[in-house]
């Protein structure tokens, strides 16, 4: 019970602290209703929980045994998330908070983003190394932790979506929205490279 309580607190901190996923959700929800950002929120949460499960079941030991695989995945993640930051930086809103026909990120993007997100990988390894108990059925143990993480992560990311909607009131002109997007792109870029460099 104490282990689950400690893990729940860890999951809250891991989910709600700034990271690439959080900033992307913040930016998207500043332009759309929260219902429009729900797919990427659910995709991100399910993807992160599944990553915890996969790492816990055995992929983690494989990656530790072959560091080159980790480096390749890190490089792919850096490139993809950096391109997202660049796309966000150059996004030019014409009429903010009105109908926007531009295709935005959805469930699959949020899901697969976790596979190249350094923050999610570090969180998954921390979960397995710190919160799994020796002597217990690894499938049961890791499945419970993954499910708890999923349940906690969803409301945490919706808090970021709500913050994005509230920023709606602060950025009423395209110029202001453009500045906000550039700020989010910069923070996303720093969060991606900062966490990756510390990971390496």
What percent of the chain clears pLDDT 70, i.e. is strictly above it? 67
Question: What does pLDDT average to over the chain?
Answer: 76
44 vs 39: CA distance, rounded Å = 8
7 vs 13: CA distance, rounded Å = 10
Which residue from 160, 159, 138, 157 is spatially nearest to 149, judged by alpha carbons? 157
Sign of CA dihedral 157, 159, 164, 168: positive
Eight-state DSSP code of residue 115: G
Say whether pTM exceeds 0.85: no
pLDDT per residue as tens digits for the range 84-112: 778 778 866 544 444 444 456 789 888 98
52 vs 116: CA distance, rounded Å = 13
6 vs 26: CA distance, rounded Å = 27
- Alpha-carbon distance values, 56 to 51, 122, 134 (Å): 8, 13, 12
What percent of the chain clears pLDDT 90, i.e. is strictly above it? 16
**Residue 134 or residue 24, greater confidence:** 24
pLDDT of residue 141: 81
**Residue 104 or residue 22, greater confidence:** 22
Which residue from 105, 124, 142 is spatially nearest to 28, judged by alpha carbons? 105
Question: In this model, does residue 180 exceed pLDDT 60?
Answer: yes
pLDDT per residue as tens digits for the range 107-122: 988 898 888 887 788 7
């Amino acid at each position: 019970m104490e282990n689950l309580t400690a893990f729940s607190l860890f999951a809250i901190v891991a989910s709600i602290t700034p990271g690439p996923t959080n900033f992307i959700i913040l930016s998207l929800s500043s332009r759309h209703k929260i219902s429009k950002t729900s797919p990427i929120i659910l995709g991100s949460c399910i993807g992160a929980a599944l990553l915890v499960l996969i790492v816990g079941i055995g992929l983690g030991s494989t990656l530790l045994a072959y560091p080159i695989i980790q480096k390749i995945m890190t490089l792919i993640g850096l490139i993809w998330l950096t391109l997202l930051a660049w796309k966000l930086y150059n996004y030019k809103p014409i009429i903010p908070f009105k109908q926007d026909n531009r295709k935005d990120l959805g469930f699959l993007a949020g899901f697969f983003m976790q596979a190249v997100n350094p923050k999610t990988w570090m969180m998954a390894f921390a979960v397995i190394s710190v919160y799994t108990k020796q002597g217990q059925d690894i499938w049961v143990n890791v499945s419970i932790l993954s499910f708890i993480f999923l349940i906690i992560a969803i409301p945490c990311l919706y808090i970021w979506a709500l913050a994005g909607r509230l920023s709606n009131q602060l950025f009423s002109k395209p110029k202001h929205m453009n500045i906000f997007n550039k700020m989010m792109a910069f923070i996303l870029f720093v969060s991606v490279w900062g966490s990756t460099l510390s990971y390496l």
